[in-house]
């Protein structure tokens, strides 16, 4: 029984973290068609803001991290990505790759490469069905899941969410119906990035922080988006759950290195036998933008 509870808690905490990542990355990919390879580095940036502003109490510090992350995302979308959309995914992928390098080098220049850490605002552990579990992990997971539920509520139950879904589904039609595409693109990129920053800020007290921290989170987030059920914004969440479950199962059964190998192999197979896995968003906006250019 204890083993089952421990396993469930481990899956849940990892899912809380990956859900934020997958949702953020999925939103950005769905709306912008941008393969955001700097996503893990935004996680790192969130964690380092928590380290850099240690004098500020924890909750306001998280909020500051989100605001800074949002401002950075705004600048990146406006100055870097906007001119590149018409050039296709490769241009934006490379641009984001560059952003990732800049973020890592900046963290290195400002904080150095010696591992850093952030004090946990909540210490100790509590008993969950007979299993002692670190309190902060449960708090971070709860916050992550509440945020995820709030996002789903906004996306499926509000006017803004309807507009968001409309632009993702068919930007041209949405635009003809009076939903301006630019603000929606900007809002999605900022929001998606802020989710990565939030994930990093919440995880910070559990990690040894180095400028390369984010790289490890990129692949699971990608796979969560790839695995996700097509046709809905909840797809990446399903993907995140699969990734968390698979990762914990394999790591329970095998050594870490073997588990990592099998994890990626299993996901590649999963994606290969589910080629429709990515069809959850059709990229009309690219063709729409191209169509507007003079022939």
Partner 1 sequence: MTRGTRGRRAGLAAGATLALTLTACGGSVGGDTGGGNGGGAADPLSIGLMAPITGPVASEGEAMKMGFDLALKEINADGGVLGQDIEVDFLDDKADPAIAAQSANRLITENQVDYLFGTITGDTSLAVGKVATEAEVPFSTAEMGTAGICTPYVWAFGETDPMILTELVPHMLETKGTRVALVGSDYSFPRGFNGLARELIEGAGGEVVAEEYAPLGTADWQPVIGKLSSAAPDWTLSAVVGGDAVSFVRQADEFGLLATSDITGISLIQDYYPAMGGVTDGRELVTRYSDALPGEANEKFVAAFREAYDWDAPIPGVAANAYEGLKFIAAAVEAAGTTETAAVMDALSTTTTDGIFGETSFTENHRFQTDMQLVRVEAGGKYVPVENLGVVEDPTECR
Residues 136-165: x where in contact with partner 1 by CB under 8 A, - otherwise, as a string? xx----------------------------
Q: Tell me the C-alpha distance between 257 and 251, whole Å.
A: 9
Nearer residue to partner 1 within complex by CB, 28 or 151: 28
CB of 115 to partner 1, least distance (A): 4
Looking at 57, 83, 115, 231, which residue binds partner 1 (CB under 8 A)?
Answer: 115
Looking at 257, 273, 292, 293, which residue binds partner 1 (CB under 8 A)?
Answer: 257
CB of 254 to partner 1, least distance (A): 10
Three-class SS of the chain: CHHHHHHHHHHHHHHHHHHHHHHHHHHHHHHHCCCCCCHHHHHHHHHHHHHHCCCCCHHHHHHHHHHHHHHHHHHHHHHHHHHHHHHCHHHHHHHHHHHHHHHHHHHHHHHCCCCECCCCCCCCEEEECCEEEEHHHHHHHHHHHHHHHHHHHHHHHCHHHHHHHHHHHCHHHHHHCCCCHHHHHHHHHHHHHHHHHHHHHHHHHHCCECCCCCHHHHHHHHHHHHHCCCCCCCHHHHHHHHHHHHHHHHHHHCCHHHHHHHHHHHHHHHHHHCHHHHCCCCCHHHHHHHHHCCC
Return the residues of window 197-216 that contact partner 1 according to CB under 8 A.
Answer: 203, 206-213, 215-216
129 lines the binding site for partner 1 (CB under 8 A): no
Return the residues of window 45-104 that contact partner 1 according to CB under 8 A.
Answer: 88-90, 93, 97
Nearer residue to partner 1 within complex by CB, 69 or 247: 247
Binding piece for partner 1, criterion CB under 8 A, among 34-42, 59-67, 167-175, 184-192:
34-42
Nearer residue to partner 1 within complex by CB, 69 or 220: 220
Q: Tell me the C-alpha distance between 179 and 171, whole Å.
A: 9
225 lines the binding site for partner 1 (CB under 8 A): yes
Nearer residue to partner 1 within complex by CB, 188 or 210: 210
Binding site for partner 1 (CB under 8 A): 6, 10, 13-14, 29, 33, 35-37, 40, 88-90, 93, 97, 105, 108, 112-117, 119-120, 125, 132, 134, 136-137, 203, 206-213, 215-219, 222-223, 225-226, 248, 251-252, 255-257, 259-260, 264, 271, 276, 278-279, 282-284, 286-287
């Amino acid at each position: 029984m204890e083993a089952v509870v421990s396993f469930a808690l481990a899956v849940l905490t990892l899912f809380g973290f990956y859900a934020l990542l997958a949702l953020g990355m999925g939103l950005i990919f769905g709306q912008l068609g941008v393969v955001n390879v700097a996503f893990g580095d935004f996680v790192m940036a969130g964690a380092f803001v928590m380290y850099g502003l240690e004098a500020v109490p924890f909750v306001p510090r998280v909020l500051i991290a989100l605001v800074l992350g949002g401002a950075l995302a705004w600048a990146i979308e406006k100055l870097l990505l906007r001119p590149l959309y018409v050039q296709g995914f490769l241009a934006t992928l490379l641009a984001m790759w560059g952003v990732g390098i800049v973020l890592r080098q900046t963290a290195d220049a400002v904080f150095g490469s010696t591992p850093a850490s952030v004090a946990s605002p909540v210490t100790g552990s509590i008993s969950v069905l007979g299993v002692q579990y670190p309190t902060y992990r449960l708090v971070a997971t709860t916050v992550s899941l509440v945020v995820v539920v709030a996002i789903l509520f906004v996306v499926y139950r509000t006017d803004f969410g309807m507009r968001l879904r409309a632009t993702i589904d068919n930007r041209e039609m949405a635009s003809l119906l009076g939903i301006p595409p630019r603000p929606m693109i900007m809002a999605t990129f900022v929001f998606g990035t802020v989710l990565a920053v939030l994930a990093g800020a919440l995880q910070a007290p559990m990690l040894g922080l180095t400028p390369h921290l984010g790289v490890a989170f990129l692949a699971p987030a990608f796979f969560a988006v790839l695995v996700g059920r097509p046709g809905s914004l909840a797809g990446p969440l399903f993907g995140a759950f699969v990734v968390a479950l698979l990762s914990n199962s394999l790591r329970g059964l095998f050594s870490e290195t073997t588990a990592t190998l099998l994890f990626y192999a299993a996901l590649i197979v999963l994606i290969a036998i589910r080629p429709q896995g990515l069809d959850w968003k059709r990229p009309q906006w690219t063709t729409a933008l191209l169509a507007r250019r003079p022939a």
